[in-house]
Amino acid sequence: MRKFVAVMDSGIGGITTLTEIIGAVKGYDFVYFADKKFAPYGDKSDREIQLRVKRLAGDFFEMGASALVIACNTATNVCIDCLRKEFSNKIIVGTEPAIKLASACGGKIALLVTPLTARQKKFKSLVQKYAKNCHIYTMSDLAMLIENNVKNLERVHEYIDQRLNFLRHYDSVVLGCTHYVFLRPFLHVKFPYLRVFDGNHGVAKRLESLLQNNSFEQAKIATTIRFLSDERNFFK
C-alpha cells in the first residue's frame, strides 16, 4: 500500500475534514474510519474515549499510517495529549474549533459544541485565550441528528429553523464539531450575513506542513480512499 494518512471520527463528521485534507495534501492515500461501534463519544467517560482512541491509533500505525488525524473535536480535547505522549515519534493532528480566527474578525461570536467538549480544560483554555466573551451553546443531540439523517438533511434544516434561531443575533458562529460542518449550506441560506467558521482548513494546512517531504512524482499518482467502520477489517 502507498503512503497513507488515517483519519478517524466517531461517525461521518470527519468526512468534512477529510474533504478539506484531500484538497491540500497530495501524494497520499487515505483510510477513513467511522467508529460507529463506539459512537457517540459524547456519552462516554474521558477514560473510555482515551482507551478506545489510543488502541485505534496503535492499529493505524501498525498498518503503516504516515499520520493520524483525529477529525473529532471531542476526541481531540480528551485524547490528544495522551496520544502524543504514547506515540511521540508519530504525526498526530487534532481538530480544534476556529475560535482564534473568528475572534480576529470581531463582532459577537456564538460557539456550538458538544456537552463533553464544553467540559474539557483544553477547550476552556482556548476560549479564555482567544474569545472569552463568546457565547457557548452545547448541542446535546445535534451530532447524532446529523449522523442519522445525512441522506435527508432537510430534517436538520427543520432543526435549524426551530432550535438555532438565536444565531440571528450574532455576527459569527464557530462550529465546534465536525458533524456540524454539514450545516454550512443551511446556515448560509438561513443567516446570509453570518460568518461561519470551522477547524477543518487549519487541520489540512497543519497536516500539509508536517508531510511536506512528499515528492512531486508521488503526488501525480491518483489518490485512493478506503472507508471503514469496523476495526476487524483493518488488516484485510
Q: Which residues are catalytic?
A: 72, 177
Q: What is the rounded CA–CA span in Å between residue 1 and residue 134?
A: 45
Q: What is the rounded CA–CA span in Å between residue 164 and residue 146?
A: 14
| Helices 121-130 and 73-86, packing angle to 10 deg | 110
Start-to-end Cα distance in the chain: 12
Give yes or no for a contact between 206 and 184, defined as CB atoms under 8 angstroms apart.
Answer: no
List residues bridging with 5 in a β-sheet.
30, 67
Question: Does residue 40 have a cis bond before it (omega within 30 degrees)?
Answer: yes
Cα 6 from chain centroid (whole Å): 13
**Strand extents, DSSP E, 94-224:** 109-113, 135-138, 172-175, 195-197
